[in-house]
Amino acid sequence: MRLIVQSLVTGKFLAPSADDGQPEWVRSLGQSGGGVVDDAERATQLVHDWTDLDDEAVIVDLDVLGRANDTDEHQSQFVSGNAGGGL
């Protein structure tokens, strides 16, 4: 499983900064490779730690993106937001 955090408000992806390794929002999926995690709990923690309350962040499963099993139901299992949601 390869998961990445994306903001639905800005479309940006959460990835480690090249400067200091701290997570930052980047526009390009190509720049966000270091932001891919394989643990749903870690991805959820990133959402809680690095998104603003008014930012709708989702966790996207890159392994099913664009495939037959890429359904809203599958992807929604990772939607966590900042309102205390989770897995």
Q: What is the pLDDT of residues 15-73, one digit of tens each?
A: 888 788 889 999 988 888 778 888 889 888 989 999 888 888 888 888 887 766 655 66
| Model pTM score | 0.74
- Give the residue numbers spanning the domain of 17: 3-76
Q: Which two tokens stand for residue 41?
A: 């709990």
Give domain status of residue 47, yes or no: yes
Looking at residue 1, the DSSP 8-state letter turns out to be -
Give domain status of residue 83, yes or no: no
Question: CA 38, 65, 78, 5: dihedral to nearest 10 degrees?
Answer: 70
4-40 per-residue burial string, b: 16 or more CB within 10 A, e: under 16: bbbbeeeebbbbeeeeeeebbbbeebeebeebbbeeb
Model confidence band, residue 79 (pLDDT cutoffs 50, 70, 90) = low
Give domain status of residue 56, yes or no: yes
Give domain status of residue 86, yes or no: no
More confident residue, 87 or 30: 30
Give domain status of residue 12, yes or no: yes
Looking at residue 50, the DSSP 8-state letter turns out to be H
